[in-house]
Structure 1
Amino acid sequence: MQYEEDEMHQQLARLLAYLVLPALGLISIAIILLIILL
């Protein structure tokens, strides 16, 4: 039981990484563009 739970947590962490990292990249690019344009 414990093993399956750890596996699920790893999958959730991986999914979060795939969702959050591109979002952070886009946000940082947007901030840089705003700084350049303003």
Structure 2
Amino acid sequence: MFGYVLFQDGRRGGSVLAFIIIVSHFLLYYSVHYSVLI
């Protein structure tokens, strides 16, 4: 939800920055679940 809002705001100018933020959030989310699996 938070990443989607950032993406919608970023479409006006900083879509690349918003994309990087979304990817970093996804990687953080994945790493947390991966560490839980271990």
When the two structures are superposed, what TM-score results if normalisation uses the length of structure 2?
0.58
Query: Which runs of 5 or more residues in structure 2 are unaligned?
Result: 1-12
Following TM superposition, the consecutive aligned residue runs of length 4 or more in structure 1 with deviations greater than 3 angstroms are none
Query: Which runs of 5 or more residues in structure 1 are unaligned?
Result: 1-10
1:18 is aligned to 18
Alignment length, in residue pairs? 26
Query: How big is the alpha-carbon RMSD for the aligned residues of Structure 1 and Structure 2?
Result: 0.9
Larger Rg: 1
The structure in which a higher percent of residues are helix is 1
Higher relative contact order (CA 8 A, sep 6+): 2
When the two structures are superposed, what TM-score results if normalisation uses the length of structure 1?
0.58
Question: Identity over the aligned pairs, expressed in percent?
Answer: 4
